[in-house]
Amino acid sequence: MTPKERVLGLLKKEKIDRVPCFSGMGNVTVEGMKKYNIKFAEVHKNAEDMAKLAASTYKLYGYECAVVPFDLCLEAEALGSEINWYAHVEDNILYPTIKTKLVKAGDEVNIPDDLEERGRLPMIKEVIGLLKDDIGDEVPIGSYVLGPFTLAGQIMDLNELLKISFKRPDDVNRILTGLVDVATRVAKLEKEAGADYITIREMGAPSDVISPRMFKTLVQPHLIKTIEGIEAPRILHICGNTNPIVELMNECGADAISVDQKNDLVQTRQKIGDDTILLGNLDPYNVLVQGTVQDVENAVKDVIEKGVNGIWPGCDIWPDVPPENMKALVEATEKYGKLS
C-alpha cells in the first residue's frame, strides 16, 4: 500500500495493512530546512519553499503525509490581521503570530466577499498544487483550518471573548456563525486545490480553558456546522485537557478525532466505543524531541495498545526533533502497527 492508500483507507474505515504514521498538523523539521537551505521565518510566504519543506518529512523519513500551512494565522490574515513573522530572529524557530487584534470583542466581523483572494489563501492553493505534482500520487496531502471559537480568539481579545461568552452568548453565537463560513470556505479552497484531508483545530476550547458546559452550548454547535460544511475526510483536533469533552467531540460528526498527551486514551476508548477513529496522544515534545529512540518506540507501542488507529503526534511536531527519533517513529509504527 502507498501512504496515500493507507491514510485515506484508514479515514474511510477500509481495510488497511497497518496503522499509518502521519499527522494533520505541523511536521516540518530542522533537518528539512537544512536540506533545502530554508529559513523558517521566510518560508511562510514562499510557495515553492513551503512545498519543498512540507514534502521533506516524507522524503527524509517516510512520514506518511505532507501538511500545509505551518502556522495558525492564515484565516485571520485573510480577514485583515497583521502578522508578525519574526524575520529578525536568527537563532530560534518562532511561529508566526497576530500583531494586533482585528476587531473589538463582540463586534461584528466583516467577512470579505473575495476572501479566497486575500492574504496567503491564493498562495496556499498554489502550494497544495505543487505538493500534488511532486508527491501527490503516493502521499496524502493534508491541510487545516481553525475551529470558529479558536479563530474568534485570534481576531479579538481572548480575555474579552471568554468573558462575553459567559455574559452575552447570543453575541458570540452570531460571531461564530460568521466564522463557520470562513472555516468552510478556507477548507473548500484547500480541498479544491487538492488536499486529501482537512483537520479542524479547535485548540482554544479545551477544558483547561473553558468549562465542558460552555463547550457544549457555545462551541459544539458551530463545530458541527463547520464539519458538515467540509467534504470528508475531516479530523477534529483539540489540544489540552479533552477528557471531559471527548464524547462531545465525538458527536461533532468528524471522520476521526484527535487529542493530545493530556488525554487518557483508555478512558476515552471506553467512553466513545470502538467505532470512532482516534488519533493523537503521542507527546510531540517530551517524547519526540526530548526522548530517546527507545522512548519513542515505547510510546508508539503504548498508544497503539491503548487504542489509537494511527500514529499521529498530539500537536505540531517540534522542528528540532532529532533525526533518529523521526526514524524511530516511522519504524516503530511499521513494527507495532500491523493489522491482520
Partner 1 sequence: MSEDKKKELLEELKEGVINYDEERVKKAAEEWIKNGFDANEGIFEGLAAGMEVVGDLFEKNEYFVPEVLMCADALYAGLDILRPHVKIDESKERLKGEVVIGTVEGDVHDIGKNIVKLMFETAGFTVHDLGKDVPLEKFVEEQMRTDSDIVALSAMMTTTMVGMKKVVEKIKEKNPNVLILLGGAPLSEDIAKKYGADGYAPDASNALSEALRMVSTLREMKKKGEI
Q: For binding to partner 1 (CB under 8 A), which residues are involved?
A: 84, 86, 89, 92-95, 97-98, 158-159, 162-163, 165-167, 207-211, 214, 285, 289, 318, 320
**Cα–Cα distance measured from residue 179 to residue 147, given in angstroms and rounded to the nearest whole number:** 8
| Binding partner at 71 among partner 1, ligand B12, none, C-beta below 5 to 8 Å by kind | ligand B12
| Binding partner at 211 among ligand B12, partner 1, none, C-beta below 5 to 8 Å by kind | partner 1
Question: Between 7 and 155, whose beta carbon lies closer to ligand B12?
Answer: 155
| Binding partner at 314 among partner 1, ligand B12, none, C-beta below 5 to 8 Å by kind | ligand B12
How crowded is residue 126: how many other Cβ atoms within 10 Å of its Cβ? 16
**Cα–Cα distance measured from residue 66 to residue 136, given in angstroms and rounded to the nearest whole number:** 9
DSSP 118: S
Contact with ligand B12 (CB under 6 A) among 8, 60, 115, 209: 209
CA angle, 270 then 273 then 279, to 5°: 90
Contact with ligand B12 (CB under 6 A) among 153, 291, 319, 322: 153
Residue with cell 466583516: 110
Contact with ligand B12 (CB under 6 A) among 71, 196, 255, 297: 71
**Cα–Cα distance measured from residue 170 to residue 195, given in angstroms and rounded to the nearest whole number:** 34
Contact with ligand B12 (CB under 6 A) among 20, 136, 206, 337: 206
260 contacts ligand B12 (rule: CB under 6 A)? yes
Contact with ligand B12 (CB under 6 A) among 13, 35, 118, 262: 262
Q: What is the contact mask toward ligand B12 in residues 8 to 47, using x (rule: CB under 6 A)?
A: ------------------x---------------------
Residue with cell 513494527: 335
- Tell me how far the alpha carbon of residue 110 is from its chain's centroid: 25
- Is residue 148 within 8 Å of residue 223, measured between CB atoms? yes
Pull the grid cell for residue 207. Answer: 477544558
The least CB distance from residue 169 to ligand B12, in Å, is 20
**Cα–Cα distance measured from residue 242 to residue 129, given in angstroms and rounded to the nearest whole number:** 34
| Binding partner at 119 among ligand B12, partner 1, none, C-beta below 5 to 8 Å by kind | none
- Is residue 199 within 8 Å of residue 144, measured between CB atoms? yes
DSSP string, 87-104: TT--SS----EESS-SS-
Question: Between 211 and 267, whose beta carbon lies closer to partner 1?
Answer: 211
78 contacts ligand B12 (rule: CB under 6 A)? no
- Is residue 337 within 8 Å of residue 18, measured between CB atoms? yes
285 contacts ligand B12 (rule: CB under 6 A)? yes
Q: Choose among 10, 8, 15, 26: nearest CA to 309.
A: 10
The least CB distance from residue 11 to partner 1, in Å, is 29
Binding site for ligand B12 (CB under 6 A): 26, 71-72, 95, 97, 150, 153, 158, 203-204, 206, 208-209, 239-240, 260, 262, 284-285, 314-316, 318
